[in-house]
Amino acid sequence: MSDELIKNLGPLAPLAGTWEGDKGDDRAPDDDPKETEINKFRERLVFVPFGPVNNHAQTLYGLRYSTTAWRLEEESPFHEELGYWLWDPSEKQVMRCFIVPRGVTVIAGGTVEPEAREFHLAAEVGSETYGICSNKFLDQEFKTVRYELKVTVHDTNSFSYEEDTQLQIKGQSELFHHIDKNTIKRLPS
């Protein structure tokens, strides 16, 4: 990958590469949605730089990414996602666009300085810019109403994240905060 492409990724540049983490925490609805399950997990993230992408006057640079997560001591993944992280340097916007094979699509975004080592993104159901779309079943039973993400780059070989996927579970008045967090280490290239 070229140095020029990496330079154009702004705050996403440190994420390019392949990463693994084995100390993840997942707080999710149990099979009985009135209960909570806590899962320890390991995961692998792959971020591949690309760009530029030109939308008339807008130029984006990005990372094509995939995530796979396994509960500790299990061989089959319990979570996968595919998507893009995008950087719009002229508007100082970072975006994360992804789909989870349960039938949820999220485009989260936020204003981020080019050299930032920590940033926050969010999406809200019904938003025409940074929003959330779900399949009919999830919309009725486990509606994702808000998504928040905090990323912290510690150094060239480590970053952490915390996601808060806020669910309106059918029959419950309070939102459920589905929290995922992990500290990830870069694999040698």
Which residues touch 166 (CB under 8 Å, ≥6 apart)?
144, 145, 146, 147, 148, 175, 176, 177, 178
Q: What CA–CA distance (Å, rounded) separates 52 from 72? A: 38
Domain boundaries, the chain: 3-28+35-186
Options 3.30.200.20, 2.40.128.20, 3.30.420.40, 3.65.10.10; CATH of 3-28+35-186: 2.40.128.20
Q: What CA–CA distance (Å, rounded) separates 166 from 134? A: 13
pLDDT at 1 over 90: no
Tell me the three state secondary structure of residue 69: strand
pLDDT tens digits for range 6-22: 889 999 999 999 999 99
pLDDT at 5 over 70: yes
Q: What CA–CA distance (Å, rounded) separates 40 from 149? A: 19
Give residue 4's pLDDT band: very low, low, confident or very high (50, 70, 90): confident
pLDDT tens digits for range 94-125: 999 999 989 999 999 999 999 999 999 999 99
CB 153 within 8 A of CB 118: yes
Give the CA angle between residues 143, 26, 11 to the nearest 5°.
85
The predicted pLDDT at position 34 comes to 77
pLDDT at 92 over 80: yes
